[in-house]
Chain A
C-alpha cells in the first residue's frame, strides 16, 4: 500500500471509477435542477438541459402553494426540538456520567432499552393519546415524541465520562453550584459531541415523515416533507412543479451540508462507531 508512484495505473483507474460513480450518484440532483428550470412545454422534451431556462416553476410553487408556510413549520419544529434535545440529553448524560446516586445503573439501562422500541410501535398509542388530549394537528403534537432522545443521552454520557473529575471538584471548591458545574464546566468540554448531536437532531426532524404525516390534518400545519408529498401527489404530471418543490426542499439542506461537511462526516464516524 505504501510508496505507490503517482503514475501508477491502478491509482489512475481508481480516479476514473470514483469519478464515474460520482456522476451516477449526482445524476438525480442534476436532473432535478435541470427539470425544475424547464418551462412546461419542454418538460417531456428529449433534451437534457432546458433550451429556455425559467424560474417560473419556483415562482408558482412559492406563490400558489403553501410552500413558504411548510418551510417555516419545519424550521420552527426542528429548531425547538433541537434545543430541547441538546439541553435535556446533555443534562441526563452528565448526571449519568458524573453524579453518584442510587439507581444510576438501572436508570441508564432503562433509557437504553427504549432504543429497541421501534417508532412504528408507538405511533398508534401516540395517536390515541394525541386525540384524547387535543394534540392532533398542533406543533406540540408533531414535536412531543422527539423532545428527548435516548440515543443522544447515550452519546453525551460517553463523552461526559471523559471529563476529569478534578475539573468538577475544582469548580465545587470555587463555590460553583451543581447546575453551574454542568452548564459552565462540563458542557464546554463536550462541544464536538454536542455539535454532532444538534446537527443530526435538526436534520432528523427536518426530514421526519411518518409521525408528522399521521398527526397533521390541515394544509397550513404541514411540515415540508408532508407538504411536498401531498402536493406532489395532487400535482399529477406537472413534473416541472414537483421538481421545483423538491429542489426547494433539497437545496437548503445541501447548502448546510457544504458548510458543516466536516462536522457531519466526523459526527457519523463518532456516533456510528460508538453504537
Chain B
C-alpha cells in the first residue's frame, strides 16, 4: 500500500519532487564539501606547491626551486636514516604483530571461559593514550633503574642499553608499538577466524586432516583477505610512526645517533624546528606516493575473488 502510493506520486509531480530533493541534498552537503575542499584538498595541493619552493616561514621571499628540495633530501644522510629506519620498523614490527596476533587469536578461539576477559586485557594498550604509554615504556627501558634491567640482573643476565644502545633502540621502540597494536590485531583475526564456515573444517576432518594440516590448508588460505587487510593497514600505521618515537627518545629525538628516527619525526624537525618547510613538504610528498601505491596495490589484491 505504502509503496504503491509512493510510486504513484513521482508519476504526477516527479520532476518537481526530484529537483526539490536534489536541492535538499546539496544543502546537506554544502558545509562538508566546503570543508573537504578547504581543509583537505586545497592544502594537499598547496603542500605539493610548497615542495617545489624554497619556503622558510620567517622569510617572505619564496622562490620556485624545481626539484631542488627533493635533491637536497636525496643527499641528506638524516633523511636516508629516517627512510631506512621507517622501512625497518615495518619489517620488524609487522611480522611480529601478525604472528603473535594470529597465535593469540587461535588460542582464544580454543577456549570458552574467560575469552572476553583475555581479549579485553590484550586490547587495553590499543586505547591507552600513546604519549602516556610511551613515557611508561621509556622508564621500563631505563638503563640502570628500569624494571627490565632489574629483572635481567635478577636472573643473572647482563643489563642492556635498550633505548640508549644504537643497536637495540629501534627494536625497543618496535616492541612497544607491537604491544600497542597486538590487541587490535587479535580482534581483527578473531573476527576473520569466526567468518570461516565450520563446514570446511568438518569436511576436512572427515577426510582425515588434523592440526597443522587444517591450519595450512583451510585456516590460512581462508584468512587471506583478513591478513592482506591487516598488513596494509599496519604498514600505513608504521610508515607514519611519530608519537612513540618522539616521546620515548624525548631528549634526543630519534636518537641515539638517529637510529630510531622516522620519516614523520624528521618532517616535524625539518618543518617546525628548523623551519625548512619546502624540504619538509617534499618529504611528505614522497610519503604520500608510497602510501598511495600501497593502498592501490591492496585494492588490486583484495578485488580478486577468493577461491575456496
Q: What residues of chain A have their CB less than 8 Å away from a CB belonging to chain B? A: 1-2, 4, 10-11, 14-15, 17-19, 21-22, 25-29, 31-32, 35, 44, 46, 48, 88, 91-92, 94-95, 99-102, 104, 107, 110-111, 114, 116-129, 131, 144-145, 147-148, 150, 153, 166, 169-170, 172-173, 178-179, 182, 203, 206-207, 209-210, 213-214, 224-226, 228-229, 232-233, 239, 242-243, 245-247, 249-250, 253-254, 257-258, 261, 264-265, 268-269, 272-273, 275
Chain A binding site: helix, strand, loop or mixed by DSSP? helix
CB distance from A1 to the nearest CB of B (A): 6
> Inter-chain contact count A-B, CB under 8 Å?
275
Complex interface: chain A residues within 8 A of B24 (CB): 99, 178-179
Picked from A27, A101, A166, A229, the residue with its CB within 8 Å of the CB of B21 is A101
Known contacts A15-B111, A228-B131; decide if A95 and B29 are in contact (CB<8 Å): yes
A118 and B6 contacting across the interface, CB-CB below 8 Å:
no
Closest chain A residue to B38, Cβ basis: A129
CB distance from B57 to the nearest CB of A (A): 7
Would you list 12 pairs from A and B whose C-beta atoms are within 8 A, ordered by A residue? Answer: A18-B104, A25-B182, A99-B24, A100-B22, A110-B36, A121-B44, A124-B271, A173-B5, A178-B21, A225-B131, A273-B226, A275-B233
Q: What residues of chain B have their CB less than 8 Å away from a CB belonging to chain A? A: 2-3, 5-6, 18, 20-22, 24-26, 28-29, 31-33, 35-36, 39-44, 46-47, 50, 57, 104, 107-108, 110-111, 114, 116, 118-125, 127-133, 135-137, 139-140, 142, 145, 147, 150, 179, 182-184, 187-188, 191-192, 198, 201-202, 214, 226, 229, 233, 240, 242-243, 246-247, 250-251, 264, 267-268, 271-272, 277, 280-281, 284-285, 287-288, 291-292, 295
CA distance A88 to B135 in the complex (A): 36
Closest chain B residue to A102, Cβ basis: B22
B121 and A26 contacting across the interface, CB-CB below 8 Å:
yes
CB distance from B238 to the nearest CB of A (A): 13
Picked from A10, A102, A122, A272, the residue with its CB within 8 Å of the CB of B110 is A10
B18 and A100 contacting across the interface, CB-CB below 8 Å:
yes
